[in-house]
Amino acid sequence: EEVFRPVQKNTAKSKVKLNVLYEDENVIFLNKPVGMLSQKANREDTSLVEYLIEYLLDSGQVTREELKTFHPAVCNRLDRNTSGIVAGGKTLSALQILNEMFRTRSLEKYYLCLVSGKIKDGQRICGYLKKNTKTNKVSVTKEKRETKEALPIETEYTPLFVSDHVTLLKVHLITGKTHQIRAHLSSTGHPIIGDSKYGNPKVNSIFRKKYALKYQLLHAWKMQFPKREDALAKVSEKELTAPLPEGFTTIIKGEGLEWEPGIQEG
């Protein structure tokens, strides 16, 4: 006998207004808020991908029929409590090109973060990152240990503003590994403020009391595109920036760091 089963919809359960930074028929770039998953971790999760599908269905850019053969998706994963730019592909070719750009690092990625301590000079730091899958935590060493799992990483940073005890950094993510910026900066003695995994509990406690801060002050801020003549031709040599979350801006001002995007970029 025929049993009726409801169709599993790969869409969001509730409406969320997405912050679209740029879109054309091939690609979409979103400003992900803190607290949202980039992609599902468990089956029952609702992530940015589901909200994106819902948005594309609502705006008539995709039909449920088309979703059976191709699923628009995101190409870069930000940690749940990291805000900022997430790139998505609406077509298979755009998705493949974007993924390739991330893999070959031809797409330049810049982050903003507030770290503990004074950093007066910019630096390009290298190291080795090893992931512990049980704890979902990574460790960073300067020298390569005798282990195959350790991956080479490279992070470049420029101080934008320095106060007595905190520094606003612009970070150029050269390699893009799990928790790279968070763990790499922490290994230099300048952890990101609010980071419960790699941060300084004492510093975090001060900021929690002062600003009710519950997440790391790390934001995927800017993407710079290389010259393209394919499905990404419309973003060829463009620069996209994602405005900082209000809470981050409040803390920057509260700490006396008068910085406005676009006025000074280091």
Give, as one character, the DSSP assignment of residue 73.
E
Say how far apart CA 259 and CA 266 lie, in whole Å: 10
Contacts of 21 (CB under 8 A, 6+ apart): 29, 30, 31, 85, 240, 241, 242
Say if strands 83-89 and 218-224 run parallel, antiparallel, or are unpaired.
Answer: parallel
Residue type, 187: S
Give, as one character, the DSSP assignment of residue 192.
B
**79 a catalytic residue:** yes
Residues paired with 83 in a beta bridge: 219
Catalytic position from the list 45, 79, 121, 164: 79
Which structure tokens are listed for 152? 């080479």
Contacts of 236 (CB under 8 A, 6+ apart): 225, 226, 227, 228, 229
The CA-based angle 218-103-109, given to 5 degrees, is 30
Determine contact, residues 171/156, Cβ cutoff 8 Å.
yes
Say how far apart CA 177 and CA 12 lie, in whole Å: 28
Active-site residues, by number, are: 79
